[in-house]
């Protein structure tokens, strides 16, 4: 049996605008972010979802709360949909990374994702709990259409795993980007239908 997942990254935040590290910390949605949410809601208004999940972070919750409400669905919170945490860099500008942690900056320059930050959750560990979470959601909702609100870096990493794409060769996940996946319970495999789609920006 197959499960269909529509996975969206949260709307733009003030931290995105200011280029701050924001993994597990709470940050507000920006004015542009609210416009993105309105466009996303219009785009998905013709879709019928059976269940809606979200990371506990308010930026993710706000991105899909309106859709859940209009379809009369509860919003299920799962902490495993959260972004990887950035440890001591949480809330700080990215421009400070080479000054504070030059080794971590050199790693980022080479591999295009963050590692070696004091107290951070490493991407490999984050992806293990994230993939396990998505598999659990898919298996708990066989035959259904599931909407999920999550975060950019962790979602990007998961899609890279599915396609065997090196991180530097993949695109940054855009705010409110729509990613459609199909999960086959017999093969236990995910199949990407579309990814990083922001065609609703023009709506």
Q: What are phi and psi of 4, to 5 degrees?
A: -110, 125
Which string of b and e fits 51-74 if b means at least 16 CB within 10 Å? Answer: bbbbbebbbbbbbbbebbeebeee
203: pLDDT confidence band, cut at 50, 70 and 90? confident
Which tens digit of pLDDT belongs to each residue from 45-76?
999 999 999 999 999 999 999 999 999 999 99
| Sign of the alpha-carbon torsion through 47, 171, 82, 136 | positive
78: pLDDT confidence band, cut at 50, 70 and 90? very high
- Report, in angstroms and rounded to the nearest whole number, the Rg of the chain calculated over CA atoms: 17
Span 2-87+122-202: which CATH code? 3.40.50.1240
The SS3 assignment for 195 reads strand
pTM, whole model, 2 decimals? Answer: 0.97
Which tens digit of pLDDT belongs to each residue from 10-49?
999 999 999 999 999 999 999 999 999 999 999 999 999 9
Q: Where are the domains of the chain?
A: 2-87+122-202
């Amino acid at each position: 049996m197959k499960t269909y997942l529509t996975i969206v990254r949260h709307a733009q935040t003030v931290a995105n605008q200011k280029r701050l590290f924001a993994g597990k910390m709470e940050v507000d949605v920006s004015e542009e972010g609210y416009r993105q949410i309105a466009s996303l809601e219009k785009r998905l208004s013709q879709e019928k979802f059976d269940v809606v999940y979200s990371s506990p972070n308010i930026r993710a919750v706000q991105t899909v709360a309106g859709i859940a409400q209009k379809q009369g669905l509860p919003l299920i919170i799962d902490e495993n949909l959260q972004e990887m945490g950035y440890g001591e860099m949480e809330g700080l500008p990215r421009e400070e990374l080479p000054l504070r942690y030059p080794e971590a900056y050199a790693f980022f320059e080479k591999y295009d994702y963050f590692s070696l930050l004091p107290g951070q959750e490493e991407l490999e560990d984050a992806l293990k709990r994230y993939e396990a979470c998505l598999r659990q959601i898919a298996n708990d909702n066989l035959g259904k259409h599931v909407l999920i609100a999550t975060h950019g870096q962790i979602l990007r990493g998961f899609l890279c795993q599915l396609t065997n794409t090196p991180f530097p060769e993949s695109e940054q996940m855009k705010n409110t980007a729509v990613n459609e996946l199909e999960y086959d319970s017999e093969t236990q495999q995910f199949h990407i239908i579309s990814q990083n789609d922001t065609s609703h920006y023009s709506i």
